[in-house]
Structure formats: structure tokens, C-alpha cells
Amino acid sequence: MLNHSSVLRFKVTHCKCIKEFMNKIKKENFDVVLLDLNLPDSQGYDTFQKVYDNVSNIPIVVLSGINDNSVGEKAVKNGAQDYLVNGEISIHLLARVLSYSISSKQVEEELKDSQKQLRDLSSHLHSVREDERARIALEIHDNLGQLLTVLKMDLYWLNKKIPVGNNHLLDKVSSMVEITNETINSVKKLAKELRPPLFELGISSAIENHAKEFQKHTGIVCSVVIDPENLSLNK
């Protein structure tokens, strides 16, 4: 049928058993595999699985028995591009199925490549975001934190310079010191949320600390089990 197809030209290589096929694929490249499930050295669905495990990058069309569509359907669900039933095949059907399977597999591989590129891009964006969070956290902690500390020291100095008995100014400065302390605590909290310093001590310590904070705020008792105890992860 393949040799007489007017739809497509095929160069056919015939292998009588899986062993012969395995030797062939080491030396030649193929566009599609037309696989009879009943071979001298393998029978049924296991035939497909053995071939697929070795050539999952090549589209496979399965030939199943007349009364055994379930095996062909199972093969398609697990990686075959399509299946045909022995005794119900025409030249045009065979050529069309093989042609479609080749095109479908190419699209599938291109989709896998696109998905990998998207995963790589997502990972890169996540890494850039984390680096930016770390930079902002450091800037907030060092620059803004230092400025607020200096402001607090100046307020203490001003408090000592106010004449005794000037309660209005003393209360005002005291209120400003309190607001400055609250702002310093907010800055520390913000920097910590952007880039928890415990991350530098390891993910295990960060998880344990998070559980303690959660327990303290909610009253819900937490038990943390980390196995192995010292997890080693990259950034």
C-alpha cells in the first residue's frame, strides 16, 4: 500500500521483530513508525511500550487486531499518535494517517520547546524579581533605616535642649520620637518581608521561623518536620 500510494512517497524499511528494529534505529533516522503489536518477540500493548520507551521522539502509529480496539486506544492515550485496525485499512487512509502523525508529532515537539522556553523565561523573571526585592530591601534597611535613626538621635538631642517646664514642646518631641520608632519598625518589617534575612541561614530555618510566627499570631499549634534536616537549595 505504501509503495503504491499516490498521496505521498514513502521509503519503507521493514523489520520483522523489535530486536531488528532496535538495531536499525541506531544507524538510521525515521519519520514515522508503523507498528504491528503482534511480533515474533513481543505481543500486545507491551510491544508499543518497548518501542515507545526507545523512540518517544518518533511518531508511532499502531496496528491492532480487528477485535481489539482497546489496545490501540490505550497506546494512543500513552503516547502513540494514532492506531489502525488490521483488515480495515485502505491506501488513502494509511497514507493520510501517517502523514498526519508526522505533522502532529512535529507540532507536539515544537509545543514542548515553546513550553520549555516559557519555563526558562519564567524562571529568569522570578530570579530577576528576587534580586530586585533583595536590592530594594537592602536599600530600605540601610539608607532609610539610617536616616530614621539619625532623625531619632536628633530628636533626643532636641529633647534635652528644650527648657524645663515647656511641656508643650516636650510632649511634641516625645510624640515625634514615638512616630519615628513606629516608622523604624515599619521599615524593618517591610525590608524583612521583601527579603527575609532567615533565607540566608537556609530554607529550613526560614520555614521553622515562619511556623513560630504563625503560631504566635494565630494560636494554632504548629509542628514542623523537615527531612532531611539541612536542605541545600540554590537561589
The pLDDT tens digits of the residues spanning 117-136 come to 999 999 889 888 888 888 88
3 state DSSP class of 127: helix
Cell of 88: 480495515
Residue 211 corresponds to which amino acid? A
Q: How far apart are the C-alpha atoms of 61 and 55, rounded to whole Å?
A: 12
pLDDT tens digits, residue range 13-34?
999 999 999 899 888 889 999 9
Residue 67 has a pLDDT of 66
All structural domains of the chain: 18-114 (3.40.50.2300), 197-235 (no CATH)
Q: Could you tell me which residues are beta bridge partners of residue 42?
A: 39
Nearest to 97 by CA among 111, 112, 80: 80
Quick one: pLDDT at residue 219?
Answer: 93
Q: Cα(18)–Cα(147) distance, rounded to whole angstroms?
A: 76
Distances (CA, A) of 75 to 14, 93, 98, 138: 21, 19, 16, 56
pLDDT of residue 220: 94
Q: Cell 515553546 maps to which residue?
A: 114
Q: Which of 22, 32, 64, 59 is nearest to 45 (CA)?
A: 64
Range list of β-strands (E), the chain? 33-36, 60-64, 82-85
- Rounded Cα gap, residues 72 and 221, in angstroms: 53
How far is it, in rounded angstroms, from Cα 38 to Cα 50?
A: 13
Three-state SS across 135-155?
A: HHHHHHHHHHHHHHHHHHHHH
pTM of the model: 0.53
SS3 63: strand
Three cell numbers written together for 160: 534635652
Residues of the chain with pLDDT under 50: none
Residues 194/140, Cβ–Cβ less than 8 Å: yes
- Cβ neighbours of residue 224 closer than 8 Å, sequence gap 6 or more: 207, 208, 211
- Give every strand in the sheet of 33-36, ordered side by side: 33-36, 60-64, 82-85
**Residues with Cβ within 8 Å of residue 62, at least 6 apart in sequence:** 35, 37, 48, 71, 72, 75, 76, 80, 82, 83, 84
